[in-house]
Structure 1
Amino acid sequence: MNINRIFAVTSVILSGALLMAGGCSSLAGKQQLTVAPEERDGVVKLRFLQTKPEAKSIFDELISEFEAENPSIDILQISDSDAEGVLVEDLLKRMVAKNDVPDIIGIGATDTFTTLARTGVLQDLSDHEKAGEVLDNYSEIIRNQSMTGQLNGIAYTANANGILYNKRIFTDLGLSVPRTWRSLLETAETLKRNGYVPFYFTLKVR
């Protein structure tokens, strides 16, 4: 049975698309990884590493349904609760460094996803039958995020992030709500010139 070694899932920031990407091919000049799925007694054993602990129970249900329909495939899910105190994304980096890449990866569209794509770990799924079921703009986001020109993921869900603004400050400065990217940048410059910090992020440095 021929099964692609890596099938990655990622979540794209901006449009927030969750993707499934595969990875057996390598970029030109990059060393190709050769780890294959384990097969024992006619059963293919796949490891699925995903970075969203809140989705573990949902994936458990999906895995159970899939295994019932495909008794020759056994999937082991690896999530934060299995990482022994280590962030599962950091665990993934360690596994890749050891040439021990999971067969299926669920990850946000972070720099880790981009790094995996650029080093040839993730497969180009441009010709995958499921790629045609995804809106073109989501696939374009994935190509841009991977920085490879390849479709290193297939989106299966999406969300959007909004920006909150201070109406009083906008009124005082005579500003209107930006409707385009250019007007957003111009508004930010106006706020900065008037002594305001244009953007606050709720990020925490670890």
Structure 2
Amino acid sequence: MSSFKSALIGAVAGVAFASSALAGELVINLDQGDPAPKKAFEEMIAGFKAENPDVEVIVNFMDKEGYKTSIRNFLTADAPDLATWYAGNRMAPFVEAGLFEDVTDVWEEHGLNETLSSAAASMTIDGKKWGVPFTYYQWGIYYRKDIFADLGIETPETWEELLAASAKLKENGITPFTIGTKALWPTGGWFDYMNLRVNGYEFHMDLTSGKVPYTDERVRATFDKWAELVEPGYFIDNHAALDWQDAVPPLVQGKAAMYLMGNFAVDVFKSGGLSEDQIGYMQFPVIDPSIPMAEEAPTDTIHIPSGAKNKEDARKFLAYMARADVQTKLNETLGQLPVNSKATRPADPILAQGFNVLSEAYALAQFYDRDVPAQMAKAGMEGFQEFMVKPERVDRILKRLDKVRERVYD
């Protein structure tokens, strides 16, 4: 692209990034080094440049893992004008360290509290907004529509309906849920949804930020409700020996009927042999009608570092990136969902359902291993896997997790 400079930076912690020195020069650090997202961002930035020809844009692309190890260094030592990151508790340490700029003014001036409302809570700390979300994807329960139809099962909308559907599937020789927990992280999706539906978003965020003990009776209530699926044998056997892809064949073969997973799994379902007509998607059912419906939606965000030199043009870029048309086009290439509720609905029927669910969500959780520190995530998901195999150990597991919480958040 001749209209802006692009530098591909290697995945090395502590690498030197270009920095802005002049007004009208905008430096952007992106964790989007893979070819497809890189192309999507180049096109998006070219659009910004066309609307702002007086701004010289310098882009530093980097692979995600290298970016994660470098971000604190470059935010501290040689801050760019814009940097990508993640919402929720992953954002909090940089806000608390004073490394991200308050951009509440951008949200208010451009009506983002309305158009980005579902992600507002996960971008808010101390009543202020600290960045702009630009892409996310839905989690939910993917299910065999043909099996449900054959057995006369309506798509469950409540917990009681999900339990009834599971019982009917089991009676007909079909395991309700497939899952692979060898890599642990799929258990995080189950815990998050159970806790969000039993206790709500605010409690879930307090727990994942270390403010609530795992021995709290409300956490135990989450596991008690989860046990209503675990104890009757509604999950496939031997899931602790399976990776998440290894748990797809039971769904394809009709030995299992449902899979709680992120939308990235749909291509794997299709490559395994399922047709679009066989794959259904449902929002995780209501457990307590009094609790607003928060969703699991890992969200990518962009921020102005507090040390940025060109905050005026950086604010222009945030407003541009928040626009419905810009997010529509960007996410068509990314194969994910625009956060802006005014964006064009995706043509893909499952993505379109996810777009509706997330646009109307009360708030968004980021996934357990994003919302808690790494040590807590490892211990927590080990505990979730153990619970799914030995639910009678729940009290022992929760006491162990709380010792880890006390150590990690101290």
TM-score, length of structure 1 as denominator length: 0.56
- Output the CA distance in 2 between the equivalents of 1:119 and 1:140: 20
Match of residue 160, structure 1, among 138, 146, 171 = 138
Q: Which residue of 2 aligns with 1:68?
A: 50
Alignment of 1:54-203 (within 5 A): 54-80=36-62, 87-97=66-76, 99-109=77-87, 111-128=89-106, 129-130=109-110, 131-143=112-124, 147-163=125-141, 170-171=166-167, 172=170, 181-182=197-198, 185=222, 186-193=224-231
Contact 1:51 1:108 in 2 (8 A): no
Deviations 1:127-152 (A, max 9, x none): 32233452433212321xxx443211
Contact 2:166 2:234 in 1 (8 A): no
Contact 2:88 2:122 in 1 (8 A): no
Q: Which residue of 2 aligns with 1:46?
A: 26
Deviation at 1:126, TM superposition (A): 2.1
Contact 1:134 1:154 in 2 (8 A): no
Alignment of 1:8-19 (within 5 A): none
- Output the CA distance in 2 between the equivalents of 1:67 and 1:51: 20
Q: Which residue of 2 aligns with 1:18?
A: none
Deviations 1:87-137 (A, max 9, x none): 11222122124x212211122237542211222222222232233452433
Contact 2:24 2:56 in 1 (8 A): yes
3-state secondary structure, aligned to 2:104: coil
Larger-gyration structure (1/2)? 2
Residue 110 to residue 194, structure 1, CA distance change in 2 (3 Å): same
RCO (CA 8 Å, sep 6+): is it higher in 1 or 2? 1
Contact 1:49 1:104 in 2 (8 A): yes
3-state secondary structure, aligned to 1:106: strand
3-state secondary structure, aligned to 2:105: coil
Residue 153 to residue 102, structure 1, CA distance change in 2 (3 Å): same
3-state secondary structure, aligned to 2:139: coil
User: Unaligned stretches of 5+ in structure 2?
Assistant: 1-18, 144-161, 178-192, 200-220, 245-368, 370-377, 379-410
Residue 109 to residue 163, structure 1, CA distance change in 2 (3 Å): farther
3-state secondary structure, aligned to 2:46: helix
Aligned residue pair count:
158
Contact 1:139 1:154 in 2 (8 A): no
Deviation at 1:190, TM superposition (A): 2.8
- Output the CA distance in 2 between the equivalents of 1:194 and 1:105: 47
- Percent identity among equivalent residues? 19
Deviations 1:158-181 (A, max 9, x none): 43212468x9993249xx999981
Residue 49 to residue 110, structure 1, CA distance change in 2 (3 Å): farther
Paired AA for residue 69 in structure 2: D
Alignment RMSD, CA only? 4.4
Q: Which residue of 2 aligns with 1:26?
A: none
- Output the CA distance in 2 between the equivalents of 1:197 and 1:111: 30
Contact 1:138 1:155 in 2 (8 A): yes
- Output the CA distance in 2 between the equivalents of 1:65 and 1:182: 44
Contact 2:87 2:133 in 1 (8 A): no
Paired AA for residue 225 in structure 2: T
Paired AA for residue 116 in structure 1: F
Residue 154 to residue 96, structure 1, CA distance change in 2 (3 Å): closer
Deviation at 1:194, TM superposition (A): 5.8
Deviations 1:19-53 (A, max 9, x none): xxxxxxxxxxxxxxxxx9421xxx62222112233
3-state secondary structure, aligned to 1:47: strand
Deviation at 1:193, TM superposition (A): 4.9
